Amino acid sequence: MSDGSAALRARIAGAADLQAMARTMKTIAASNIGQYEAAARALDQYYEVVQDSLALCLRDAQPAAPRAAPGKAGAIVFGSDQGLVGQFNEAICARMTGSAQTYTVLWPVGERVTALLAGRDKVHAFPLPASIDAITSLVGLLVIAIEAAGRQDGITRVDVYHHRPDGVSAYVAVCQPLLPLDREWQALLLARPWPTTARAQLLAPGEATLRACIREYLFVSLFRACAASLASENAARLAAMQRAEKNIAENLQVLTQTFHRQRQGAIDAELFDLVAGFEAQGAGQTI
């Protein structure tokens, strides 16, 4: 075989390896999507319970929260640590920069989105959780960072930017207001209808119960946002691997056809040489 055929064989083998890798990553991404979506769904009902509990605390205490005054704002931006996710990180950054809100402090989660936001003032990066169990510790660190920013930088507003799974385009970028817990926020909670006809009562009314419910509200909100972002990341990777696998299969088909044509051409050339030699030998014997 010629050097060209050997090179084609090497390219075919490389394409086959890439196809196997893409298929493996597809399987892993599909498995991860299910885990993170299940984690987010598992907290949906608890999130409703926390909101109902907060509404009950507010009806009981009726704290006189002031109307939110204009102040400094911070943003938590969930991205990815790894690539092969298309425009996942660029899309969430565009969603944040396209907002009318100016952010003094940024908390990017993930190496890729941190790199896109580099150069801004007061960017405090956090590593992306590698599993569902690691989300809890991340949420704890974010809550601590928010409290510190409130004391040191005067942050009164916090928005959370993340992707959530979408059946049409794999994922969609959303913005979730997290703070402040002001009069408007209280009005929204107080307008929630009670889920049952029974009259609810607080076993331990007071500020301590309200603070505990607020902590749970912050925890569940950030946990759901992180889980939704991780599910969206894997959905983006699954879509990217599906496109890659299709392109690799098409390229592999072209390479295989080219190799077969070259191989058939080499065989035909050898047959022509044999026939020509046989005919030349026969002509010599006749003379």
Euclidean distance between the first and final Cα of the chain, in Å? Answer: 36
Q: Rounded to the nearest 5 degrees, what angle is found at the Cα of 97, between the Cα atoms of 118 and 75?
A: 70
- CATH architecture of the domain with residue range 21-242: 3-Layer(aba) Sandwich (3.40)
Three-state DSSP class for 173?
Answer: strand
Give how far Cα 281 sits from Cα of 276, 277, 285, Å.
9, 6, 6
Q: Taking the CA atoms of 182, 187, 190 and 193 in sequence, report the sign of the dihedral they define.
A: negative
Domain positions in the chain:
21-242
CA 150 from centroid of its chain's CA atoms? 28
Give the pLDDT of residue 218: 94
**Which run of H or of E encompasses 78?**
strand 72-78
Confirm if 16 and 214 have CB atoms less than 8 A apart: no
In the numeric block, the tokens 């026969």 are attached to 282
The tens digit of pLDDT for each residue in 73-102 reads: 999 999 999 888 889 999 999 999 999 899
**8 Å CB contact between 159 and 175:** yes
Of 52-56, 67-71, 229-233, 270-274, minimum mean pLDDT range? 67-71
Contact criterion met (CB below 8 Å) for 194 and 52: yes
- The tens digit of pLDDT for each residue in 164-216 reads 988 777 899 999 999 988 788 888 888 888 877 776 777 776 778 888 888 99
Coil vs helix vs strand at 69? coil
